[in-house]
Structure 1
């Protein structure tokens, strides 16, 4: 039932936006009773939060496991390209836009979505760094890498820059970020 509810809600939020989606519409499209829906999600905001968090988790589940990449392909380069591809997926861009448009009314939703995406990205980059860096230094590097690689492009996509154009530059953007971090004294070996 949860899966049906989240699928229906995701579909409606993406097609109609936050404002025009109602719990009644979700209930109807999911084929579940209102009591079943309200028993799981007490408000549209809590349902939207679940949709966004599920979407973010799904994005990371579909990424290459960078910890298993052999030495022939630098893991940090792969991690950057994978993050860019994930952040620029049409579903992610659409949910970023909806979240941004509702940030004034529901700032906690925007913060939760941002933090889940950022923290997940940092964990992903930490896998690429492996055990070669100290935990503190690795975390610092991973955070800065995400700030340089993923955040600017997702911001641009959310404001209408063609994701395909952004994606076409992913290798260069990632390589430049790695070079910048090395020059700034961060640990980027993978």
Structure 2
């Protein structure tokens, strides 16, 4: 994602009309994403975002009263965008093959440089903004679990069997999180991708008993 130009003038604008509100918010989040990734949390300010996004400060502060609020919106959007662009769960596969596919897809998404960068930023700010760090973790974890549930083909994702949800949660914890955490600490991404298939296989083997229970309960097909 290109960095915002440092030479853009500070054009102060009033509140945008309702018809342009979506574009207004999109511009703010796009610019804020670039600034947070380029400068980190500490060196990014709301005034700087307003300047580069060419929006009025009052309109920006009305939407995001604090830098933490803006950063939370940026992280949530980044995570949601990752899940929106993930490939559909493959069809015509048995349960083990579906888990293998969704596990490798999740790891690939989590190893995207932007995801790793935001993980590092939120971890670095965890002491100062614990709620923000927890939010970022929870959004990522919940999204991963929801994607696994799609792979498990739960009949009703919103009211999935508790045992099925626990299976999906443990799968994410065993197959996905270890590699994403290692990426945050600087382990080479190519090396981690090479290990992803085996890590997912290992997680499936460890969860064989839970998978069998879920199958017997007809929670998944």
Partner of 1:187: 211
TM-score (norm 1): 0.93
Query: Equivalent of 1:28, from 28, 51, 55?
Result: 51
Give the root-mean-square deviation of aligned CA atoms: 1.6
Aligned equivalents of 1:18, 1:118: Cα separation in 2: 22
Q: Does 1:96 align with 2:127?
A: no
**Residue 121 in 1 paired to residue 149 in 2?**
no
Superposition TM-score, scaled by structure 2 size:
0.80
In the TM superposition, what is the alpha-carbon distance from 1:131 to its structure 2 partner?
3.5
Deviation at 1:71, TM superposition (A): 2.1
Q: Where does structure 1 lack aligned partners over 5 or more consecutive residues? A: none
Structure 1 runs of 4+ with >6 Å offset: none
Please state how far the C-alpha of 1:70 moved relative to its aligned partner: 2.1
Q: For each residue in 1:63-122, what CA deviation from the matched residue of structure 2 results, as whole angstroms up to 9, or x when unmatched?
A: 1121x5222792111110011011110000000000000000000000000011111111
Pair 1:152-2:178 in alignment: yes
- With CA pairs under 8 Å and 6+ residues apart, which has the higher RCO, 1 or 2? 1
Bigger Rg, structure 1 or 2: 2
Q: Which has the higher helix share?
A: 1
State the 1:16 CA deviation.
Answer: 0.3
When the two structures are aligned, how many residues end up with a matched partner? 186
Mapping for residues 1-190 of structure 1, pairs under 5 Å:
1-66=24-89, 68-71=90-93, 74-131=97-154, 135-182=161-208, 185-187=209-211
Q: Aligned with 2:181: secondary structure? A: helix
Tell me, in whole angstroms, the C-alpha distance in 1 between the residues paired with 2:85 and 2:136.
18
Between the aligned partners of 2:125 and 2:34, the Cα distance in structure 1 is 17
Name the CA distance, whole Å, in 2 between partners of 1:14 and 1:125: 28
